[in-house]
């Protein structure tokens, strides 16, 4: 009996030590993720530029984990404001690494090289991503990359230019949508790579523009645990188009939380809206 008791106590001590080790590892990982989240937040731009140049804006940003593979970026170059929303391959830490790469390359391409035409931005970014990831199109090669929408707006003339890599632009005018379609190519190696097209759009005062990743529309929920889908996403935007941008953001947040229910968040989410 004493031998059995000693064995049980020894096993208990082993279990306690393993528990303590797991708890320490969890705390270390959690602290590292918190630090990574703070680092990633530093690449996200201040809303001050949007507040200055447009009559309203919203930033809906909800990572699946503490760090995100979705990101947004903007800057001013001359008279133009350039806005970008990107969805990188993966989420969590791998996606966050890709987002840091993308934001850094955009800063170099736009701010340093002075390229502001959206199609050319995507062309240059694709070249740099392919080079950075050493992509050659080999069989079995990892398909890392980004989907992205880029717009350039002159607030003085209200002329907008858009280009997209698998990421459309929604233009809402008097509660009616104009969906500007992207090139069906990613920012990565692709079998049939062509230059990205740029489309000129003459805006009017009161127009609302939305750039977004697929995370919102792809969220599973509802009674049948189905995707929310883009039609429902557009319906929410159209039905609340008269609200201020901050109120639209709150409606989007409330709607997707109710839809999601107890389901796990499917992917990172980002939606940027501006009112001209």
CA dist 183 → 66, 127, 144, 157, 198 (Å): 31, 16, 18, 26, 9
Q: What is the mean pLDDT of residues 218-241?
A: 95
Residue ranges of the alpha helices (H) in 42-158? 48-53, 92-106, 118-132
| Residue 236 reports pLDDT greater than 80 | yes
Tell me how far apart the alpha carbons of residues 126 and 120 are, in angstroms, rounded to a whole number.
Answer: 10
| pLDDT confidence of residue 33 | 58
Average pLDDT, the chain: 90
Determine the pLDDT at residue 191: 86
Average pLDDT estimate for 150-175? 97
The per-residue pLDDT for 96 is: 82
Q: Give the whole-angstrom CA distance, residue 156 versus residue 53.
A: 10
What confidence category does residue 27 fall into, taking pLDDT thresholds of 50, 70 and 90? low
- Distance, C-alpha 257 to centroid of its chain: 18
User: Could you give the CA distance from residue 204 to residue 196 in angstroms, rounded to a whole number?
Assistant: 25
The residue ranking higher by pLDDT, 183 or 68, is: 183
Q: What is the mean pLDDT of residues 9-22?
A: 73
Give the C-alpha separation, 209 to 272, whole Å.
Answer: 8
Q: Rounded CA gap, 130 and 63, in Å?
A: 25
Query: Do residues 61 and 212 touch, judged by C-beta distance below 8 A?
Result: no
Dihedral sign (CA 22, 90, 117, 172): negative
Rounded CA separation 262/272 (Å): 26
Q: What is the Cα–Cα distance from 16 to 12, expressed in whole angstroms?
A: 6
pLDDT band at 29 (very low <50, low <70, confident <90, very high): low
Tokens 């996403």 appear where?
233
- The CA-based angle 188-193-198, given to 5 degrees, is 95
Q: What is the per-residue DSSP string for 187-235?
A: BS--TT--PPP-EEEE--TT-EEEEE-STTTT-EETTTTEE--HHHHHH
Instruction: State whether the Cα torsion 194-134-113-49 is positive or negative.
Output: positive
């Amino acid at each position: 009996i004493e031998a059995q008791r000693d064995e049980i106590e020894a096993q208990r001590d082993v279990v306690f030590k393993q528990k303590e080790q797991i708890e320490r590892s969890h705390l270390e990982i959690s602290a590292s993720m918190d630090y990574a989240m703070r680092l990633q937040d530093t690449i996200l731009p201040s809303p001050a530029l949007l507040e200055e140049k447009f009559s309203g804006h919203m930033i809906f940003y909800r990572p699946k984990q503490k760090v995100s593979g979705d990101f947004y970026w903007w800057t001013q170059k001359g008279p133009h404001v350039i806005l970008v929303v990107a969805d990188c391959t993966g989420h969590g830490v791998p996606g966050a690494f890709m987002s840091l790469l993308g934001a850094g390359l955009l800063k170099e391409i736009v701010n340093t090289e002075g390229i502001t035409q959206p199609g050319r931005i995507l062309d240059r970014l694709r070249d740099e991503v392919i080079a950075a990831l050493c992509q050659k199109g080999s069989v079995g090669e990892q398909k890392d990359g980004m989907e992205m929408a880029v717009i350039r707006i002159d607030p003085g003339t209200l002329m907008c230019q858009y280009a997209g890599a698998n990421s459309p632009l929604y233009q809402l005018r008097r509660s009616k949508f104009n969906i500007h379609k992207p090139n069906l190519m990613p920012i990565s190696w692709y079998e049939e790579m062509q230059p990205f097209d740029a489309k000129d759009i003459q805006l009017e005062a009161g127009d609302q523009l939305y750039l977004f990743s697929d995370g919102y529309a792809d969220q599973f929920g509802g009674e049948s645990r189905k995707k929310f889908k883009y039609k429902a996403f557009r319906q929410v935007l159209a039905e609340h188009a008269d609200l201020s941008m901050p109120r639209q953001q709150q409606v989007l947040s409330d709607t997707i939380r109710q839809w999601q229910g107890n389901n796990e968040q499917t992917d990172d989410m980002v939606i940027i809206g501006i009112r001209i």
